[in-house]
Structure 1
């Protein structure tokens, strides 16, 4: 069979060559030109990168980014897993509730995934910085729910950074869920909810410090050794470490700070400047608060009713969930951020009939089961950009 095929192939090739040689020289040139153009078109079509209907997006293979990268910061409000861990009394209510009522637990994860996948053209954020997460198991359950709901063309979430904090008042901690590799995850400070992670895309590193500071209900924040003051001091010390290593380092601070961007604590202890920052030497590293000066009516992330740290009674939206970046993220080298893309979406996340910018919380076991929303905080979105591999 193979010999017959080879003989037929040889006869066909001989016939084609004789036909080609019988053509006039001008016709031979036209045939060769058509063949070269066809080969060129085939090469260009084969090497062209595919694009989704929403434009270029990230690819998770090898941490390679082919477009802008969407970051989402969100306090999930008591995200507990499916296991009864016999937590302290302050957490036992949610620990038992989520472990013993799978319908409630599933509703919580469905609601969070539903909102997250509204962003990024239906693919969801590429890096999710979450707070109030009970365990790594809880982060994995949310990742799995997201991956189940992803459209076929969207890269899955493959990477989680989460370290449980057992010695703090509550058993909740920050986490990162990412399409890009995460490494060197560690907790900073002593008994503090401060997670540091390095995210990598295109061979470029981004240091992310996600934290959840203590509440104003139990802490006035005026002592640098306690409460929010201690959080600011710990993070400031870590930033100095990174700035000494690399003045133009790409560093992003985010989290639920439980205080507003104009709190003097941020400027005095962290040295946070407003955006846009004043002109400084490019090699002099500084921190810039992207939400400083923003109106709470448009950028508020949490609704507070009660007395503030300064003793004033207050009822209204506050910007508690913040993003602070190093000046290295404001250049066009390696990683950069696009401050003009910063937003705090509220569509569908405010309880119907509610007055003001009040997030539609999921609530506690004793709340109305037919009125459960999402979280008592709103998400914060920021677009990042990473340069091609060096």
Structure 2
């Protein structure tokens, strides 16, 4: 009996397709406030003078490039063997900074692409999303403008990006950096609630218009899980295995975390990753891996806290004193499972 090469090829290739169709891969997500990642160039339209060589922080090129290398080191360390598919960054100044991060550090090997906001924050602070094209196909993006009163300082826009993951699910990603607590938590609360209102309006529209939306929200909210912005305005619930999950409800994966930022000796969870209920169900082709959400805190990101005892983040600046560290925040990391790979 004669067997053609075509027949052999089909016999060999079909099992490969079956394996690929049933494959499960890890898809990692990271959220990181990198603490004032500015370049050294003075932008006359922004209040960035302190982050220049002549400014009161003496922000030199050597300090800037050291900072870039450190941020890249954290991203690579968090990625372990497979790399981080999506990285949400807070406190990045402009496109040049992100380009330098991706092209002048070891991250150039990862082939990241990015998108970012270009808002009207007076200091020039923006948010960005890094993504690996072999794991996330970006389909579109928009900036959600947060309105402010006439005499208020403009705040940062919210970044909304949507794209396709390997299972062909569409994932809507939001990167946020809500207004700070400058002037006191109570006095500044209204501004954060206004920003969350813009975010909530957009997520509600996704729940209404999309058949089965998958929503991921991350960033620095400058509020704890129990504060009004998260618990009441966003109605972000804690996630437990025995929860009766609702697809059109948000869940805070870091509701019970021990803290990502330390202020006056107290750890607070100001950074968050939220998902809707559809991303917590194992029956889905794309969902959160159980037990994978954690504050990423390797020893090199920490140092002894001589003032308040214990440990604290190894910062770039402690007040106006240059420490030469990484950031005043610790990053967050979550792993998703992607089933039935179709690309």
**CA deviation string 1:26-76 (max 9, x = no partner):** xxx9xx9xx99xx9699859x969xxxxxx9xxxxxxxx972111110001
Q: Which residue of 1 aligns with 2:181?
A: 216
2:296 is the counterpart of 1:345: yes
Q: Is the 8 A contact 1:197 1:207 kept in 2?
A: yes
Rounded to whole Å, the distance in 2 between the matches of 1:79 and 1:223 is: 24
Q: Is the 8 A contact 1:219 1:227 kept in 2?
A: no
Q: Which has the larger radius of gyration?
A: 1
Question: Could you say if the C-alpha distance between residues 183 and 261 of structure 1 is closer, same or farther in structure 2, counting changes exceeding 3 Å?
Answer: same
Question: Could you say if the C-alpha distance between residues 111 and 334 of structure 1 is closer, same or farther in structure 2, counting changes exceeding 3 Å?
Answer: same
Q: Post-superposition shift, 1:160? A: 0.6
2:198 is the counterpart of 1:241: no
Question: Could you say if the C-alpha distance between residues 365 and 274 of structure 1 is closer, same or farther in structure 2, counting changes exceeding 3 Å?
Answer: closer
Rounded to whole Å, the distance in 2 between the matches of 1:119 and 1:323 is: 16
User: Partner of 1:112: helix, strand, or coil?
Assistant: helix
Residue 373 of structure 1 is aligned with which of 308, 322, 325?
Answer: 325
Rounded to whole Å, the distance in 2 between the matches of 1:146 and 1:181 is: 23
TM-score (norm 1): 0.72
Equivalences, count: 318
Question: Could you say if the C-alpha distance between residues 123 and 105 of structure 1 is closer, same or farther in structure 2, counting changes exceeding 3 Å?
Answer: farther
Residue 288 of structure 1 is aligned with which of 235, 244, 251?
Answer: 251
Residue 101 of structure 2 is aligned with which of 131, 135, 142?
Answer: 142
Taking only aligned residues, the RMSD between alpha carbons, in angstroms, comes to: 3.3
Rounded to whole Å, the distance in 1 between the matches of 2:60 and 2:188 is: 41
Within a 5 Å distance, the mapping from 1:258-273 to structure 2 comes to 258-273=222-237
Q: Post-superposition shift, 1:141? A: 1.3
Rounded to whole Å, the distance in 2 between the matches of 1:48 and 1:104 is: 50
Rounded to whole Å, the distance in 1 between the matches of 2:311 and 2:226 is: 19
Residue 88 of structure 1 is aligned with which of 4, 27, 46?
Answer: 46
Q: Which residue of 2 aligns with 1:53?
A: none
Unmatched 5+ residue regions in structure 2? Answer: 148-153
Whose strand fraction is larger, Structure 1's or Structure 2's?
Answer: 2
Rounded to whole Å, the distance in 2 between the matches of 1:223 and 1:107 is: 33
Whose helix fraction is larger, Structure 1's or Structure 2's?
Answer: 1
93-102 or 267-276, which moves further after superposition? 93-102
Unmatched 5+ residue regions in structure 1? Answer: 1-28, 50-55, 57-64, 306-314
Structure number with the bigger relative contact order (C-alpha 8 A, sep ≥ 6) is 2
TM-score (norm 2): 0.81
Q: Which residue of 2 aligns with 1:76?
A: 34
Within a 5 Å distance, the mapping from 1:378-389 to structure 2 comes to 378-387=330-339, 388-389=341-342
2:66 is the counterpart of 1:112: no
2:181 is the counterpart of 1:205: no
